[in-house]
Structures are given as C-alpha cells and as structure tokens.
Amino acid sequence: MFIKNIEVGEIFIPLARPFKTALRTVYNVEDIVIKIATDTELAGFGEAPPAAVITGDTKGSIITAIKEFITPALVGMEIDDLDGIFRKLNTCIVRNTSAKAAVDMAVYDLYARKHNTPLYKMLGGNKSVVETDITISVNPIPEMVADSLDAVSKGYRILKIKVGKEGLKDLERIGEIRKAVGPDIKIRVDANQGWNAKQSVQIITAMEEGGLDIELVEQPVPAHDFKGMQYVTGHVSTPILADESVFSAEDAIDLIQNRAADLINIKLMKTGGIHNALKICDIAEIYGVECMIGCMLEGKLSVSAAAHLAAAKGVITKADLDGPSLCKTDPFPGGPLYEENLIYMNEAPGIGIEEVPCLSN
Ligand SMILES: [Mg+2]
C-alpha cells in the first residue's frame, strides 16, 4: 500500500464561548484537515490548527508546507516504511510542526487501520479511558468562579485556570476559585508566559503560603527564557510544567538536564506529531519526569490523536484534552467518545474518525 496523494481542506467549528488566555482570544476553531489517499480503499486523516501565536504556523503556511514540500516528499512511499516516511516528513522542511503533525497523525491513522487496530493499541497501550481537565478562560473573577462551579457540576475533577494577565490579581482569582470549589478539586494554573521570573516566584510562593493547593503551574515565564524557568523551578516547591518552552526532543533534554521544569507538556502541534512526541516520552521516562498531554484549540480529530498517545504511554500522567468539549459542534463522526471529563477510546481501527466532511469520500 503506497501514498497516492494528500488532500487538504479547511474546517470551521464555532466555539461554545470565546477562549481567552494571556496570549489571545479565540472565537472559532478554523483548522486545516487532510486525507492521505492510497492505492487501496484505506485512507488516513489528520488535522492542524493555525495557532500562530504559539507555533508560528498560519493556515497559509500549513497548506503550503503540505502541498509544496511534504506531499512531493511522501507520494509513492510504502505505508509500511514508517521509519522512512517520518525521516522524510521531518527533513523535507524545517519547523512547520503543525503541518507535520497533521500528516504524521494521518500516517499513524492509516498504519493502524491497515493493521485493523485502534491507534492506542498499535502504540502499545491498554488504557481505555483518559481523564482530562477543563480550561477556565481568563475573565472577571465572578465569571471565572461561576465557570469553575459549572465545570465541577458537570463532573470535571481537574480545572486548568488561565491567568498571567494581571500579576498579583491572579492570586485573588485562584483564591476565590479554590474557596468556591472546595479542597477535593485539583487546580492547575497556566500563566501562558504572562509573568517574569521574580514575579512568578512571588505569586507561586504566595499561593503556597495561602494553602491554595495548586497541582502545578504551567509556563510562568516567556518560552525562550530557560534561565527564568530554571529560576522559578528552583525557588518554589509547586511543580513547574514547561509548555511553550518545549517543542522538540532537544528542548526537553535541555530543560530536564538543567532542571528548568518538573514536568513537560507535550502537544502534537509543537512536536510535529506522534513520532517526535514518542521521543519526548522516552526522554522523560529516562529522567523520571512525568508528562502532560495538551492540545491547542482543536477539533476532535487531532485531539483524538493526542488521546490515543495518552492512552498508550504511562509516562503521560495528565491530560489537558478539552478542545472538543469547548466546541459548539462536532463535525467528525466516530473516534473516541468525549463525555465531559472522561474520554473513552474507540475500538474501531486507527484514530477512529469515520469521515471528514470537507474532504472527498
Ligand atoms: Mg499551556
């Protein structure tokens, strides 16, 4: 079975509510979707969001990378030659991790379909359910408290609170939310690069002294500020999770060896797909570091590829895969079942998505 063509389309999914972080406000999911066609009836599907403020990838750059670089490199390759495919995919163009992620997951989807096995089992996993947190957007405090209580009433046991816009005011946000939800709900805090190193230590120390019981703080300082990450990690006892700082396996090695983070957040759009994400899993495992798996604002297709990876790897102990739950509609039939905080893995082959509306069948 060989790769005949890669078809590219665009999909539009309205969000239930605007998504707000320290970096941006988003109203809709507008993703690139792809289909790898073969000389047989089997095809593989992939998806990538243009999260330019994080990855630098836009709709236009994703489409161009796939059409002009990746497709010519992969057409004609045997699907069983996974090693060769991933080598070509990762060397035909530098960066462009979102385009690579869409193609990478479609290759895995296809490979697992060929072997008539759900992707997570193909990757060696046996976890049939993955628990995710849900993100609470940055808003005025009463709104964030109400959103948190609403999430808890739906069954979520882990909240990821977006902060990083107002320094010490963020402390008040978390305090009010903790008071409202009580001690049994886990709270993760994501500053999305919104603080500097000293400010981070001041805020996190105050959280610790206030008994706010924060599970982890994600990306307190700017992505490139590895020294800042190291300073914060060394000066607080709350675990620090690196997100925007880690794209590649090399970044993971650098951060872990310099003790510049306690945890690594893997996202397929940063790594360029599952193949490179598996390398980060291996590195983390070697160093005894746990990983979270996260997503951008993405539809169910690409988030499900991440869910399959989470179900396959024990080193991924935390999941932040709430993308589909934040969407108003789901255009992708099939795949894992998203029931609030629990994601039930599909037993159908591959990622499990049966069709992608804007692509040919
Ligand atoms: Mg983050």
Q: What is the mean pLDDT of residues 83-112?
A: 98
CA 134 to ligand 1 center in whole angstroms: 12
88 belongs to the catalytic site: no
Greatest Cα pair distance, the chain, in angstroms, is 62
Q: What is the mean pLDDT of residues 156-184?
A: 93
Among 97, 115, 133, the domain boundary falls at 115
CA 13 to ligand 1 center in whole angstroms: 21
Q: Are residues 146 and 34 in the same domain?
A: no
**Count of CB atoms situated within 10 Å of the CB of 24:** 13
**pLDDT band at residue 195 under the 50/70/90 scheme:** very high
pLDDT of residue 21: 83
Domain assignment present for residue 109? The answer is yes
Q: What residues contact residue 10 under an 8 Å CB cut-off, 6+ apart?
A: 30, 31, 32, 33, 59, 358
Indicate which residue of 114, 165, 267, 318 is catalytic: 267
pLDDT of residue 23: 78
pLDDT of residue 192: 92
> In angstroms, what CA-CA distances link 79 with 39, 277, 283, 335?
11, 20, 27, 22
pLDDT of residue 167: 79
Domain assignment present for residue 361? The answer is no
CA 16 to ligand 1 center in whole angstroms: 20
Domain CATH code at residue 171: 3.20.20.120
Range of the structural domain that residue 171 is part of: 121-344
pLDDT of residue 15: 95
Proportion of the chain above pLDDT 70, given as a percent:
100
CA 218 to ligand 1 center in whole angstroms: 6
Q: Are residues 87 and 191 in the same domain?
A: no
Which two structure tokens, joined as six digits, stand for 163?
A: 């902060």
Q: Are residues 27 and 133 in the same domain?
A: no
3-state class of 353 per DSSP?
A: strand
Q: Are residues 174 and 43 in the same domain?
A: no
Domain assignment present for residue 211? The answer is yes
CA 3 to ligand 1 center in whole angstroms: 34
Neighbours of ion ligand 1 (CB under 5 A): 190, 218, 243
| Number of structural domains found in the chain | 2
Q: Are residues 102 and 179 in the same domain?
A: no
Indicate which residue of 162, 165, 270, 300 is catalytic: 162
Q: Are residues 310 and 165 in the same domain?
A: yes
Domain CATH code at residue 52: 3.30.390.10
Q: What is the mean pLDDT of residues 26-43?
A: 96
- Is the pLDDT at 255 greater than 90? The verdict is yes
CA 19 to ligand 1 center in whole angstroms: 13
pLDDT of residue 281: 98
CA 1 to ligand 1 center in whole angstroms: 38
Q: What are phi and psi of 73, to 5 degrees?
A: -75, -30
Q: What are phi and psi of 263, to 5 degrees?
A: -140, 155
Q: What is the mean pLDDT of residues 240-246?
A: 98
Of 21, 96, 113, the C-alpha closest to 60 is: 96
Lowest mean pLDDT among 25-29, 232-236, 239-243: 25-29
**pLDDT band at residue 113 under the 50/70/90 scheme:** very high
Domain assignment present for residue 354? The answer is no
Domain assignment present for residue 359? The answer is no
Sheet with 263-266, edge to edge strand ranges: 134-136, 158-162, 186-190, 214-218, 240-242, 263-266, 290-294, 316-320
What is the secondary structure of 320-339 as a DSSP string? E--HHHHBS-----BSSEEE
pLDDT of residue 20: 86
162 belongs to the catalytic site: yes
pLDDT of residue 168: 81
pLDDT of residue 78: 98
Span 42-79, pLDDT tens digits: 999 999 999 999 999 999 999 999 999 999 999 999 99
